[in-house]
Amino acid sequence: MSFYFETIKTQNRARAGVFHTPHGDLLTPVFAPVGTQATVKAVPPRDLHEIGVSLVLSNTYHLYLRPGDDLVRDMGGLHEFMRWDGPMLTDSGGFQVFSLAKINRIDDEGVTFRSHLDGSKHRFTPELSIAIQENLGADIIMCFDQCPIPTDRAIVEPAVQRTINWAARCRDAHPDMGVQALFGIQQGGIFEDLRERCSEALRPLDFPGYAIGGLAVGESKPDMYHTLDTCVPMLPDDKPRYLMGVGAPDDLVQAVVRGVDIFDCVLPTRIARHGAAFTPDGTINMANLAHARDTSPVDPECDCYCCTHFTRAYIRHLVKAKELLAHYLLSVHNIRFLIRLMDSLRAAILQDQLPEVADRFLQRYLQTA
């Protein structure tokens, strides 16, 4: 099989595993930076390799609109187009359709919407989402789903049924898992019974992996953690579990403890563009005057290019001067911070030390929150 998941070690509900793909093995738990438009903002593939990135996510909706999935296919697919030779994942475009576009109509067949770029009219169906992702050529592709407001049951309940129906259609449209692994997406908001209903419908479809959608989109952190407590065990033990769109360091730790394997998020590069940096002592604003004459690195414990070559004083200067180098250096650092965090959590599971390592990290990281 081209795709298969091995659990190497478990500790309580957490697990260290390997997801084998045609473009390489993913050692889990793993974090993927987001390359929305076939690029991780400000960071070239060479540097992604250098800082230990093994998986990159790109976005179906954006690439469909520009430059077009047919063009990407004709250029050899995403791997060749953006010159990333490791595993890749594309989302279905569903989240962006519902969050960015002007929706004209949602029905059981699909979604009619207008582009956020030029107002042009488009229609996404489960079958079209799969066809676009097949053109893009990522290793892992996602079912088209409806991602609702997670706390409004009146909205969540019909969205769950639509997600279930669309998952079956995606499975029919993509029966061969040899080249691309299609993941199902569990929806249900913060409602345990709806999560269970969705999971029961998805399990017989025997996807190579399962995602948890509809979290970190407006609910409180306690609600998200409680939902993970209940919804992660609903997914198959022998398949990877992917929590979509979550990237805050404390959330990553909490989710790994609860048994999640794969993560992605725009957060490390987004906050970098606003002059912020992850550190073990919390997220810091590099524009603050306190850093003006600070000769220490952003994070003395970090081994990235930013932290081994430059001072906080210099990074602050770049941020204040709005120099593009600030975006690059802080993006490299923030991504490397999350990669190192994932590596430490995996090592802790392998050594039966996860509760101690997780508690120590959270106490320090949240002390100034």
Active site residues: 91, 264
Q: What is the dihedral of CA 335, 338, 340, 344, to 10 degrees?
A: -170
Give the span between the Cα atoms of 283 and 98, in whole angstroms.
30
d(CA 276, CA 287) in angstroms, rounded, equals: 8
Q: Which residues contact 136 (CB under 8 A, 6 or more apart)?
A: 58, 60, 63, 69, 72, 73, 77, 78, 90
Contacts of 271 (CB under 8 A, 6+ apart): 277, 278, 283, 330, 334
CA distances to 33, 180, 208, 284 from 56, rounded to whole Å, are: 6, 15, 18, 25
* Contact call for residues 149 and 189 (beta carbons, < 8 A): yes
Please state, as a whole number, how many other Cβ atoms lie within 10 Å of the Cβ of residue 54: 21
For residue 365, the surrounding DSSP H or E stretch is helix 354-365
- DSSP code, position 113: E
Beta strands (DSSP E) in the chain are 4-11, 14-21, 24-28, 30-33, 56-58, 88-90, 102-106, 111-114, 121-124, 140-142, 181-186, 209-212, 241-243, 262-265, 276-277, 284-285
